[in-house]
Structure 1
C-alpha cells in the first residue's frame, strides 16, 4: 500500500513534467494526524505567483484521495522562500537528461550573490553557451543556446 508521503512525493510538476514536486523541493512536509487520519501537506512555490500552484494543489489532493485520504489539507508557505538549492541531485539529473540546464547550487551563508557566467549545455556539456532570452517556456526558465552544438535549451533560473 502506498503511503501518503509516497503518493505526494510522486506528484509531477505540471510545467516541468520530468521532475516531481519532491525533486524540485516544492514539497516541504507530509504529516498524518494518527487520531483522525487527516493528512496535511506543506508546499512552497518556486516563486510567489507561480501559476502552476493551483494545479499542484489539485494533483496532491487527487493523489491522496487515490490512497484513501480524500479530506487532505494542502498548506502553502512562503517562508523560508524556495531556493534552487532545494532541487535534489536526482532532480538535477532528470532536468539535465530532459535538456534543461539545472542551476548550480548557490553559496550558503549570505554574502555575494553568485553570478552565472556560463551554463553548460545539457546536450553536449560545452560551457560555450549564450543566453538568448531571460524568458523561456515558463516564467522560471530562461532560453539559452549552445555555440558548440547550436542547440537551444532551457535553463532553470537560479532563485
Structure 2
C-alpha cells in the first residue's frame, strides 16, 4: 500500500467497522453486535480484503448464521465488499458486553449479567438479580432457561412483572 492509498484504506476500514457495529442482534434487537461484544474485529488480510470477525455467544447459537448474514448485508448495502469470519476461540463471554449494552438490555426489560464470568458456578449461581423495571432485588427465579438458553426467567416479587436475566457466561 502506498502513502497515497493508506488514508483511503483506513477510511474504508473505519467505515466497515462503523457499519458492522450498528447491526442489531436478531434475538435481542435493542443491542448491536458491538454492544454484545460479538464483533471481534474489522481488519484487512494480506491481500487487502476487509475481514469482519464475529464470535457467536455460543457455538450452537441458532442466530449465528442470521447475525453473519445481517452484517454481510449491511456491509453490501453500504457498498463495502468484505468477508465474514467466524471466530470460536476465545469463546464469547458476557464480560464482553459493553456498559452501554448492559444499560440497553436493562431499558429493554432484560436484567443484564451480574458479576464477571469465570466463577465455578457463574452460569447458575446469581443470588440477587434486580428487576430491570423497578430495580427491586426481591425477585424469584422461575426457570433456569428463559426465551433463549443464555437467559433465565425471573419474576419480580415487588412489581410482579416477569423478566429475563442474561446469565453470566
1:65-104 equivalences in 2 (<5 Å): 65-70=76-81, 72-104=82-114
Count of equivalent residues: 155
2:64 to 53, 57, 64: 53
Deviation digits for residues 106-152 of structure 1, max 9, x if unmatched? 16xx6655431110000010111011011211222111000011000
- Give the TM-score, by structure 2 length: 0.85
Distance 1:111 1:67, change over 3 A: closer
| Secondary structure at 1:61 match in 2 | helix
2:43 to 22, 31, 34: 31
Aligned counterparts of 1:34 and 1:73: Cα–Cα separation in 2:
13
Kindly name which structure, 1 or 2, has the bigger radius of gyration based on alpha carbons: 2
- Unpaired segments of 5 or more residues in structure 1? none
Q: Does 1:40 align with 2:59?
A: no
- Give the TM-score, by structure 1 length: 0.90
Q: Judge conservation of contact 1:47–1:82 (CA < 8 Å) in 2.
A: yes
- Unpaired segments of 5 or more residues in structure 2? 1-10
Q: Judge conservation of contact 1:100–1:156 (CA < 8 Å) in 2.
A: yes
CA RMSD in angstroms, aligned pairs only: 1.9
**Greater fraction of residues in helix:** 2
Aligned counterparts of 2:76 and 2:67: Cα–Cα separation in 1:
14
The aligned counterpart of 1:14 is: 26
Aligned counterparts of 1:132 and 1:113: Cα–Cα separation in 2:
18
Aligned counterparts of 1:13 and 1:79: Cα–Cα separation in 2:
20
Aligned counterparts of 1:151 and 1:69: Cα–Cα separation in 2:
44
Aligned counterparts of 1:24 and 1:127: Cα–Cα separation in 2:
24
